[in-house]
């Protein structure tokens, strides 16, 4: 008997419904990789992942690339310890690669309010890349506060609290293989 079959799935009991299945995500990530392969052939882009939530999308996207590409990560926030943006960008881990003259693709899990990504994009443009585009798994325009959008978008997302495939609530649910809507009772308790 497999041990995991005996354990109740703690994660799924908190999910109201699945928004994007594992199969839908896999197919859409392949389509985005194909777009990048075509657009960046021969350009050796830097694929810059914004941690932490991006890692499943980033890994799957990188596996779909058939062009030469360099990888790096950064951690940035404009929220401090709260849930409202301070308007000040804090880069907690910067890229180790000089962006000047490079084709850069920022890879993000979700564009929500757009506050952090807007500030980050403006900061990275000061470093004079040859080009700078954004790939995002989810685009939640209903909560957008800044004029920013993705160039490569996986899915348009409803104005719900979503988790899974890297997206979290209180550092939980990142390991779900799909994107689901978290039950309101879970995040309203805290």
Beta bridge partners of 162: 181
Known catalytic membership, residue 149: no
Side-chain-side CA neighbours of 150 within 13 Å: the count stands at 22
CA-based nearest residue to 186, from 173, 167, 177: 173
How many distinct helices (H) and strands (E) make up the chain?
5, 9
Both ends of the chain: CA-CA distance in Å?
37
Torsion angle of the four alpha carbons 36, 144, 48, 97, in this order, in degrees rounded to the nearest 10: 130
Q: Is residue 59 helix, strand or coil?
A: helix
List phi, psi (to 5°) of 6: -85, -10
Q: Is residue 131 helix, strand or coil?
A: strand
- Out of 72, 109, 112, 151, the active site residue is 112
What are the distances in angstroms from CA 52 to CA 33, 105, 167?
A: 20, 17, 9
Q: Any idea which residues carry the catalytic annotation?
A: 112
């Amino acid at each position: 008997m497999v041990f995991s079959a005996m354990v109740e799935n703690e994660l799924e009991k908190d999910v109201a419904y699945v928004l994007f299945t594992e199969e839908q995500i896999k197919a859409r990530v392949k389509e985005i990789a194909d777009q990048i392969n075509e657009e960046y052939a021969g350009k050796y882009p830097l694929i810059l992942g914004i941690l932490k939530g991006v890692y499943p999308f980033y890994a799957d996207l990188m596996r779909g690339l058939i062009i030469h590409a360099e990888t790096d990560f950064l951690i940035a926030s404009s929220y401090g310890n709260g849930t409202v943006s301070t308007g000040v960008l804090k880069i907690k881990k910067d890229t180790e690669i000089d962006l000047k003259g490079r084709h850069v693709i920022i890879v993000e899990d979700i564009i929500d309010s757009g506050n952090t990504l807007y500030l980050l994009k403006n900061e990275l443009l000061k470093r004079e890349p040859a080009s700078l585009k954004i790939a995002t798994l989810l685009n939640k325009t209903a909560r957008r506060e800044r004029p920013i959008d993705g160039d490569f978008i996986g899915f348009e997302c409803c104005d719900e609290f979503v988790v899974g495939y890297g997206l979290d609530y209180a550092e939980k649910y990142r390991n779900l293989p799909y994107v689901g809507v978290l039950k309101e009772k879970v995040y309203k308790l805290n």
